[in-house]
Every structure is written in C-alpha cells, then in structure tokens.
Structure 1
Amino acid sequence: MKKTLINFSFIFLLLILNSCSAQDSSKPEPIILTPTENLFAKGADVGWLSQMEATGYKFYDADDSQKDCLQLLKDRGINTIRLRVWVNPSNDKVSGHCSKEETVDMAVRAHNMGMRIMIDFHYSDSWADPGKQNKPAAWASHSFEELKTDVYNHTYDVLRALKTAGVTPEWVQIGNEIPGGMLWPDGSSSNFGQLAQLLNKGYEATKAINSSIKVIVHIDRGNDNALFRWFFDAAKNNGVKYDVIGMSYYPYWIKSDYTATIADLENNLKDMASRYNKEVMVVEVGGDYTLVDNTYNMLVAVIKAVKNVPNNKGLGVVYWEPEGEKSWSGYQLNAWQSNGKPSLALDAFKN
C-alpha cells in the first residue's frame, strides 16, 4: 500500500509539472530590450566645462533656474559628450587642463547621466590642429620607434583609467584635425608611412581595451572632397586601421555662409562612406553665437546632411564647445548667451 501511495504521489507531481510547463509554453517570450542600433549621435564637446565651473561660472535655464550644464545640454537633445585629452597640460584656464584625470572625471559624470562618450586624443600638451601638431614636451627627444610606443601607452593608459572608472567610450579619435599629420615632424603627412604607423598604434591600443570601440580618423574642412580623397586614399594605401571618418565643418572660418557649402559637405559625406566603405561623422561644427537663427539653420542642415548618408552610415553631429560663453572663453563660435543660458540655436538638436 505504501509503495502504491508513493507511485501515485510521483505521478501526481509529474502531472502538475507538465501542466505548469504547458501553461508556460503558451506565454509569449520575454521581451529583451537592447540599445537602438542606429541611434543618431547629437553631441557637444565640453572640454572647457570643468574649468568654467572651477572659476565660478554659473549656468541657467530659460526660467532663470541654475542647472548643471550637462543637464541643460541633455534637455536640448544632446546625447553624446566629446572630451579632448592632453598629455601633460598646463593650468591655463583656456589652453590647459584636459588631463587624464580631468577627462575621466567628466566622462564618468556624463556617463552617469546616460550620455555616450567620445574621447579625442590630441597627442600634445595643448591644442593640436591643422596649424600645429606639437609633440608633448616629455616626448620631444624621442626616436620614431619610441614615439610609436608613446602613442600606444598613452592611449591605453587613458582608456584603461576610463574602463576602471566604469566608462567605455563609444568612439575614440586618434589625432585631432590631422590633414598635415601629427607629432611633427616625425608623423607629418608628407611621410604618410610613418603617420600610418602612429595611427595604427593608437588603433591597436584602443582595441586592446575593447574591440567594440569605434576608432575615428579626423580631418578638417568637411566640405573639401579633394582634401578628403587625397588623405584617405593615402591612408588606404598605407594600411591605416580605423572605423569612422570624422570631419570638422566651420563655414565661419572659410568666410562663407553655410548655404554655399552645405551641398559640398553632404556630397563629401556620401562619397567617403561609399568610396572607403566607412561610417562618417561630423565631429566638430559651430556657428557665430551672435547669429542665432543662422547657426540654428546651419545645424539643422548639417544634421540632415549626415542623416542623408545611405545605409545608416552617417553617425552623428557634435557641436564644439557650445557652453564656452564668449566672456569666459573668448570663443566666437560658442552657443551660449551672456546671461549664462543656452542659445536657441541648440534647439536644432531637439528635432
């Protein structure tokens, strides 16, 4: 009798389990939410922000309430923060800072607000751009072989510090506006073979941290297709490794209204994507802060041009130092008002 009861209990238990299994199988599969694959990056480079705050600059919303600058940017559609990093910078208010430690602190702060992160390596102690690509003082006497190691180690060190702090950038720029190369004279584009080796060291260090980080190679004059073909043909011929073609677009500096060059920008974006099978991005843009409507319309047009690149290869648009209000920075192409409030030009990112 006892054995019969045990068998009956076992059969009853199996019936319950089968019933539960049948009920579960009738339920829909759980929905797993994943990040949007092709989320358009609407960005701001805010390398000055920590120093603006350190000097007591206050940021305000339209209702006169004091707010965190990053929150003000986020409220206007910005979802990406770009940060430059210098090797051994000075303490100069405008042309210094942006050290590894300061970059990590700001990246963590932006990341904790849900922002995407781009890191821009200048490989210098201060500004690197088409007119100057000075070696860091600590690297000045190094041989070319040592410079390659310097690029790798510096890139790896900064990105490892970010990773330790819980931040993995989505994009990393190896060099800033480098049509003439970087780490002059060794990495001049007149010796593209050596420039390629330096760029590849930055690429390798980035991928060693996380292979999913997209590496950007960035030059200026985004409306100049001949310049871009020359540079990226040379990059291809010399085996440069990268994922994204980054460009600057500043009609102000070429003494032109954007309406005269916006078609050239769009054509260049599309040509770069198809010619080299790469994603493209406007990583720097800006307009005269006194011409609010013009800057707004320019931003709308640039965003549209990038979005018009076929196959979702146009990744986004980044405004360079929108918060750098003129009285603090001396910079004409900011997008902030003298009362500490964002310019209405930034509303272009809301749409």
Structure 2
Amino acid sequence: MRTGLLIVLLSLAFWACSKSPKGDTEIFPEKSSLAKGADVSWITEQEKSGSKFYNSSGVQQDIFQILKSKGVNAIRLRVWVNPADGYCNTDDVLAKAQRASLAGMRLMVDFHYSDSWADPGKQTKPAAWASQNFADLKQSVYNHTFSVLTTLKNKGITPEWVQVGNETNDGMLWEDGKASKNMKNFADLISAGYDATKAIDSKIKVIVHISNGYDNSLFRWMFDGLKNNGAKWDVIGMSLYPTAADWESKNTSCLENMKDMVSRYGSEVMICEVGMPVSEAAACKSFVTDLLGKVKSLSGNKGLGVFYWEPQSYNSWKGYKLGAFDDTGKPTAAMDAFLN
C-alpha cells in the first residue's frame, strides 16, 4: 500500500514539474531566467519569398533551431489587426507562435493596434475602428487583445509577456489616444489592453513600450502621465538602436534610466528591441553583451531581458540593414552575444 501510494505521489510530482510553458498551464518555469530574445515576425514572409537560413557551419536549418543554438530562448511576434497581405494577422501569429512553442521558447506578443506599422511617428487606427467613438475604441482594444490571446490559448499557447502598443512615445490610436493631447485617453486604452490580457491569464506580464531607452525625460513624462491617470502595467519596455560609435554611452544612459524606472515606479524592465547595422557585427556583439549584463544587474531581478529586432533579416530585406545574419543567411558574430 505504501509503495503504491509512493508511486502515485512521485508520478504527480513528475507531472507537475514537467508541465511546459508551451501549454495552457499558466506556469512559466523559466521566468526567473533572463530572456534572450528575437523578434522574428518577418519569418513567414521571408520563407514564402524563398529565404533560407544556415547555421554557423553553413548547414541549412529551421530559423528557430539556429536561434536556439545561439542562446535565444524567447520569441517576440507583432500583431496587426487587418493587414492587407495577411502577414502578422492572428492566423500568421498563431503559426509562428506554434513553431516557437515547439522549439521550447518563451513568447512575447506585441500588439500594434493598427493594420500596419505603429511606431513613434505613426499610430494609425485600424480601418475598421476609424469612425468609432472613444468608448467603442476602448472596447475594440479589449476585444482584439482578448480574441488574439484566446486563439493562442485554445492551441495551448500562453505568452509570458504582452505588449499593449508598440513604441507608444506619444500614445496610440491617434488622434484619440495621442498622449500629448489626452494622456487620460491613452491611459484608458492601455488599461483596456491590460484588462483583456489579465482576463486570459493573470500571470501574463503587460508591457508598455516606448523607444529611446536612454531618454529618461521621455520615460518620466510618459509613465508619470500614465500613473497619474490610472493606467495599469507590469513592465516598462524600451528600444535601443545605437551605432558602433555611441553604443557605450547609450548603454550607460539606458542603465541609469532603467534604474530610475525601477525605483520610481517599482516596475520591471524589458529591452524589447535592439539592433545595429549588420556591417558592425563585432561592435554589435559587444553592445548586446554589455546590455544583457546591465539588464541583469538591476536590483531585485527587475531586468527581464533583451530582444533583437528581426536578426534573421539579411540581404537588406525590405531595406532593413540592422539584422544579425550575413548575406549568405548565416548568423553574424552579433548573435554570439546571446551565448553568454
């Protein structure tokens, strides 16, 4: 009887410990480790166009396998509401998320709340939301966020992080959610995305993301404004795109900004995007290695990780020259930063 009971208890313990973060278990066993990530949202479009990828030895492999061999343990995927070509819509995001999940990688979902690019210079409403009043706009943010995450959850995928807006330096869904004109509106939109995310799983961490991680005055203006208007978030997200000439000073300023965000708001910090010209691979390796160390040094384990933006883009894919793969489709030295 005792032997049988012991076997049952051991089996239950093994089952509990072996639950994967890929499932809908709401358990993320690797969440205490530093996220070493890559945004690979272009990958399905690249593959459709014929792009192939090779490991450092020149052997053709799946991109997720190559990234994992370079120390990457997390994937970031952007979501557009109704993109004209279908890429980065819900179905496309699901297909990529399933591949990341099968590779055992953690997941960040980045909501742009637009039909195309949203960034500091443009935050265009989806066409289907363009004529909505503000109450309906908030509901659309909630519904879209909830719908995409439900699609993932129904396939056994629960992201560890959700970004509510992309590089929202002056808010999102302009003009209604333009922070410089109406910070309260922007705060309410952030909270709508936050509430939808937590309705899926309370353990998902919600990120508010703005660019120029070295610019403390920008971050204080934004997060003071959001806090004073009742916005909810878990993580402050940053972008950082230096050059070989200025990465050391940018990293130093970014570290001071990260420290301030931790002490001022009690928030965790994530570097959601980094990049450097592919021609500066050696400097990029030094930049990312140093930044990972600075993120890890934050008190209370408040630094969560660093994500490279579209490292697998090569041959100036769509004019982008800040990737970390060379013209033959192999990773450059920059990717070795994630092995540390």
- 1:54 matches 2:53: no
Matched ranges for 1:81-230 at <5 A? 81-91=75-85, 97-190=87-180, 191-230=182-221
- 1:278 matches 2:267: yes
What is the letter of the counterpart of residue 233 of structure 1? D
1:180 is paired with a residue of what secondary structure? coil
**Could you say if the C-alpha distance between residues 136 and 37 of structure 1 is closer, same or farther in structure 2, counting changes exceeding 3 Å?**
closer
How far has the Cα of 1:239 moved from its partner? 0.7
* Larger-Rg structure: 1
What is the letter of the counterpart of residue 202 of structure 2? S
Q: 1:308 maps to what in 2?
A: 297
1:222 is paired with a residue of what secondary structure? coil
Q: 2:39 maps to what in 1?
A: 45
- 1:260 matches 2:249: yes
1:189 is paired with a residue of what secondary structure? coil
Residue by residue over 1:181-207, the C-alpha shift from the partner in whole angstroms, topping out at 9 and shown as x without a partner, is 100000000200011111111001101
**Contact 1:123/1:135 (8 A) holds in 2:** yes
**Could you say if the C-alpha distance between residues 256 and 140 of structure 1 is closer, same or farther in structure 2, counting changes exceeding 3 Å?**
farther
How far has the Cα of 1:305 moved from its partner? 1.1
How far has the Cα of 1:283 moved from its partner? 0.5
What is the letter of the counterpart of residue 154 of structure 1? H
Inter-partner Cα distance in structure 2 for 1:177 and 1:108: 25
1:130 is paired with a residue of what secondary structure? coil
Q: 2:68 maps to what in 1?
A: 74
Count the aligned residue pairs. 325
**Contact 1:222/1:268 (8 A) holds in 2:** yes
Residue by residue over 1:132-165, the C-alpha shift from the partner in whole angstroms, topping out at 9 and shown as x without a partner, is 0000111111111110111011000100000011
How far has the Cα of 1:260 moved from its partner? 2.0
Inter-partner Cα distance in structure 2 for 1:328 and 1:241: 36
How far has the Cα of 1:36 moved from its partner? 4.0
How far has the Cα of 1:37 moved from its partner? 4.8
Which one of the candidate residues 240, 265, 276 is aligned to 1:249? 240
How far has the Cα of 1:166 moved from its partner? 1.0
What is the letter of the counterpart of residue 116 of structure 2? S
Question: Any stretches of 5+ residues in structure 1 without a counterpart?
Answer: 1-16
1:261 is paired with a residue of what secondary structure? helix
How far has the Cα of 1:256 moved from its partner? 5.5
Q: 2:58 maps to what in 1?
A: 64
Q: 1:348 maps to what in 2?
A: 337
Inter-partner Cα distance in structure 1 for 2:225 and 2:119: 19
**Could you say if the C-alpha distance between residues 327 and 224 of structure 1 is closer, same or farther in structure 2, counting changes exceeding 3 Å?**
closer
Inter-partner Cα distance in structure 1 for 2:279 and 2:156: 39
How far has the Cα of 1:332 moved from its partner? 1.3
TM-score of the aligned structures, taking structure 1 as reference length: 0.88
2:278 is paired with a residue of what secondary structure? coil
Q: 1:9 maps to what in 2?
A: none
What is the letter of the counterpart of residue 345 of structure 1? A
**Contact 1:326/1:334 (8 A) holds in 2:** no
Inter-partner Cα distance in structure 1 for 2:169 and 2:30: 33
Question: Any stretches of 5+ residues in structure 2 without a counterpart?
Answer: 19-28
Inter-partner Cα distance in structure 1 for 2:129 and 2:143: 12
More displaced stretch, 76-85 vs 301-310:
301-310
What is the letter of the counterpart of residue 52 of structure 2? K
How far has the Cα of 1:344 moved from its partner? 1.4
Q: 1:323 maps to what in 2?
A: 312
Inter-partner Cα distance in structure 1 for 2:177 and 2:315: 34
Inter-partner Cα distance in structure 2 for 1:234 and 1:349: 35
What is the letter of the counterpart of residue 192 of structure 2? K
- Say what the alpha-carbon RMSD is for the aligned residues: 2.1
Inter-partner Cα distance in structure 2 for 1:138 and 1:319: 31
2:124 is paired with a residue of what secondary structure? coil
Over the matched positions of the two proteins, sequence identity in percent amounts to 52
What is the letter of the counterpart of residue 332 of structure 2? S
Inter-partner Cα distance in structure 2 for 1:223 and 1:256: 15
What is the letter of the counterpart of residue 196 of structure 2? A
1:64 is paired with a residue of what secondary structure? coil
- 1:294 matches 2:283: yes
